[in-house]
Amino acid sequence: MALPQSITDRLDIPLMAAPMFLASNPELVIQCCINGIIGSFPAKNQRSLDGLDSWLAEIGHALETAHSQTGRAPAPYAVNLIVHKSNSIIEDELALLEKHKVPIVVTSLGAVSDVVDTVHRWGGLVYHDIISLRHAQKAAQAGVDGLICVAAGAGGHTGAASPFGLINEVRQFFDGTVLLSGALSTGRDIAAAQMMGADLAYMGTRFIATSECASPPAYKQMVMDSALGDIVTTDTVTGVTASFMAESLNSYMLEHEDHGTLDINKELEDALDQKNNEKKPWRDVWSAGHGVGSVDSMPPAAELITQLASEYHQAVDDMSQLYKPFMADN
């Protein structure tokens, strides 16, 4: 297991709130970090580089203030960068991340050693999203510090692999930080992720239903009302396999028969285009993972983290009782 002490010292529980397009915002990131878990957002949630600059300044200022008021360093935060040829402004985004010395960069779609070297130069860490062993090996070769194993049932772009299979094989060649993603919703899930060999649990969908999250109220309500059977996994919407809530997907599918092809800039621009009345992936077709059935409340993030911590501690206590009859010295 490999989580640097500089991070464990700043966490209350081994959890990272995952970056979510259109959903994660500075309010959510700040509340996560000052309540002892890693918060994150995708760089593309800001429409302009100036906007990204001001979000990074806002987060940095809030975390410094919290540090000086409480005497305790908040958890580090992360920014998600899309490393894909269709992201034409990645150099400018990286320059801003360097300006603000962003502690963790989550890379999606491509793991490139140049990006890893740049982030390492300012002392940052790189965690990379993977859904297969081939991706994991390439990312490990590129020198990433962490691998986010996106297993079956995740919200957003999901993997199809069993979390057991994925983590076990990744651990055979990677001794960096391993994060587990896909349908984790409770404190018990966080403890289970650690037992499976992950250093950190990575939760997206659960954080949509928080008061800070930028998603519309009807989206949050649909997450609370949905269950596992309502999640559809399809590549029909964007050309990449992703999980959506059936109720929101159905009306879109009636209007669109074509498979999309991946063009990140177009996808993001379309989704951010408020004037466009056509239904758009992510903005109008709402994504959630297989963990929705455990989400039935929409608390502030601080309250959710307190609840997850209490469930986590209870689960760890319960587990030691569960294992007792099977321990060798019994």
Ligand X SMILES: Cc1cc2nc3c(=O)[nH]c(=O)nc-3n(C[C@H](O)[C@H](O)[C@H](O)COP(=O)(O)O)c2cc1C
CA distances from 75 to 6, 78, 145 (A): 10, 10, 17
| CB-nearer residue toward ligand X: 63 or 105 | 105
- Tell the smallest beta-carbon distance from residue 66 to ligand X (Å): 24
DSSP state for residue 258 in the 8-state scheme: S
* Cα three-residue angle 122-127-133, rounded to 5 degrees: 140
Distance of CA 250 to the CA centre of its chain: 25
Q: Is 18 in the site for ligand X (CB under 6 A)?
A: yes
Residues, the chain: 330
Among the listed residues 11, 13, 21, 161, the single contact to ligand X using CB under 6 A: 21
Distance CA 170, CA 64 (A): 36
Residue with tokens 């109008």: 284
| CB-nearer residue toward ligand X: 36 or 204 | 204
Q: Is 154 in the site for ligand X (CB under 6 A)?
A: yes
**Beta pairing partners, 81:** 107
| CB-nearer residue toward ligand X: 62 or 242 | 242
Mark the segment that binds ligand X (CB under 6 A) among 15-23, 191-199, 226-234, 294-302. 15-23
Q: Is 161 in the site for ligand X (CB under 6 A)?
A: no
Among the listed residues 105, 125, 150, 209, the single contact to ligand X using CB under 6 A: 150
| CB-nearer residue toward ligand X: 149 or 309 | 149
| CB-nearer residue toward ligand X: 285 or 315 | 285
Q: Is 181 in the site for ligand X (CB under 6 A)?
A: yes
- Tell the smallest beta-carbon distance from residue 135 to ligand X (Å): 13
Q: Is 287 in the site for ligand X (CB under 6 A)?
A: yes
For residues 31 and 212, the answer to whether their CB atoms sit within 8 Å is yes
CA distances from 128 to 108, 144, 150 (A): 6, 7, 10
Specify whether the backbone of 153 is left (phi greater than 0), alpha (psi in -120 to 50) or beta. Answer: left
- 69-108 positions binding ligand X, by CB under 6 A: 80, 106, 108
In order, the DSSP letters of 166-178 are: HHHHHHHH--SEE
- Tell the smallest beta-carbon distance from residue 20 to ligand X (Å): 4
Among the listed residues 11, 13, 15, 23, the single contact to ligand X using CB under 6 A: 23
DSSP state for residue 19 in the 8-state scheme: P
Residue 57's H or E segment, with its range, is helix 49-70
Distance of CA 173 to the CA centre of its chain: 23
| CB-nearer residue toward ligand X: 66 or 233 | 233
CB atoms within 10 A of CB 274: 7
- Tell the smallest beta-carbon distance from residue 45 to ligand X (Å): 8
Distance CA 312, CA 246 (A): 31
Mark the segment that binds ligand X (CB under 6 A) among 1-9, 20-28, 47-55, 94-102. 20-28
Mark the segment that binds ligand X (CB under 6 A) among 54-62, 197-205, 303-311, 314-322. 197-205
| CB-nearer residue toward ligand X: 18 or 161 | 18
Mark the segment that binds ligand X (CB under 6 A) among 13-21, 135-143, 169-177, 299-307. 13-21
Distance CA 122, CA 104 (A): 11
Q: Is 205 in the site for ligand X (CB under 6 A)?
A: yes
Distance CA 45, CA 281 (A): 14
The contact set with ligand X (CB under 6 A) reads 18-21, 23, 42, 80, 106, 108, 129, 150, 154-156, 181-184, 202-205, 287-289, 291
